[in-house]
Amino acid sequence: MKKITYSPAFTLVPTYECFNRCTYCNFRVDPHKDIWLSLSEAEERLKCLKKRNIYEILILSGEIHPDSNRRNAWIDRIKDICSLALKQGFIPHANVGPLSFEEMKYLRNVNGSMGLMLEQMSSLAVHRNAPSKSPELRLQQLNWAGQLKIPFTTGLLLGIGETEEDWVKTLEAIAMSHRKWGHIQEVILQPHSPGQTQTFDGLGFETQRLPEVIGLAREILPEAIAIQIPPNLVSDLQWLLRCIEAGASDLGGIVPKDEVNPDYEHLNLMQLKTFLGEHGWQLEPRLAVYPQYDQWLTMPVRSVVDSYRQSL
């Protein structure tokens, strides 16, 4: 039976506040309008996950401005949450926006992998009030991650005003970074799906076009890079199947709540496994770091990963 993977995951959000104002966002709140996740609360949530077959803790955060006097405290909070997850036996994966080189190096020590969506390698209207969505800044992050030997996840956001030429340009930029550093383990192809709080009046990406984008990605990206699609954003299971047949090999983190797309719940995992099994696909859990990158990990992270490798 053919295999497709997913990550049994849970999301912790240090803060929803963000200085960017992406018009399609259904996640952010204004700066200073959110109470940060405390370490005691994070620890309690982690303890509740012990018997739920969770492997990955996705640390997903809004962004504190690089010039803010709260920036260091924010980075420390993220690092401390990652450390708590490690101590509880989980593998942290931080996706918290663009970081300085030193911040990436700091968080590398307590993460199995890290991530940042490249989104699109073009300046788009939806990012007019989002300074950290600069394509050049985000591409720099990909290259810094490679330089630091951080297993990395990136991806494209589809349906936000880009063109087909933009897809090619973005995929080629990812492929070039990987060929230099060999660090991109996954590329997410994420269809924008309208939510209740966005101001962008786009209708969302037509999921019927996803197999076309997946085919394009498979042509451009090195074979070692997995192509990931979020199953909760592909409402028709037949189209999900077509996406897999087109070359998608991973379904990402299947979590109790998609914090970025809170209006779109994940399917019941057993239902998803049953459906895929009926069509010749075996859905299998994976870790937040792919095996070929285990040797890059710091010892505290490696010890947690090794314990999972022995049991899977």
Rounded Cα–Cα distance for residues 291 and 33 (Å): 40
Chain centre distance of CA 10: 12
**CA 145, CA 122: separation in Å to the nearest integer?**
21
pLDDT in tens, 132-166: 999 999 999 999 999 999 999 999 999 999 999 99
Nearest to 58 by CA among 255, 233, 268, 250: 255
Distance CA 231, CA 193 (A): 12
Which candidate, 107, 122, 120, places its Cα nearest to that of 152? 107
**Angle (CA) 29 47 251, round 5°:** 65
Domain 2-311: which topology?
TIM Barrel (3.20.20)
Q: Do residues 283 and 250 touch, judged by C-beta distance below 8 A?
A: no
Name the one residue in this structure whose structure tokens are 């600069």.
134
pTM for the full predicted model: 0.96
What pLDDT is stored for residue 33 in this prediction? 97
4 three-state secondary structure? strand
pLDDT given at position 195:
87
Domain ranges of the chain: 2-311
**What does each of the 312 residues of the chain score in pLDDT, given as a tens digit?**
899 999 999 999 999 999 999 999 999 999 999 999 999 999 999 999 988 999 999 999 999 999 999 999 999 999 999 999 999 999 999 999 999 999 999 999 999 999 999 999 999 999 999 999 999 999 999 999 999 999 999 999 999 999 999 999 999 999 999 999 999 999 999 999 888 889 888 778 988 999 999 999 999 999 999 999 999 999 899 999 999 999 999 999 999 889 999 999 988 899 999 999 999 999 999 999 999 999 999 999 999 999 999 887
Reference 95, options 203, 201, 228; nearest CA is: 228
Model confidence pLDDT, tens digit, residues 188-197: 999 998 888 8
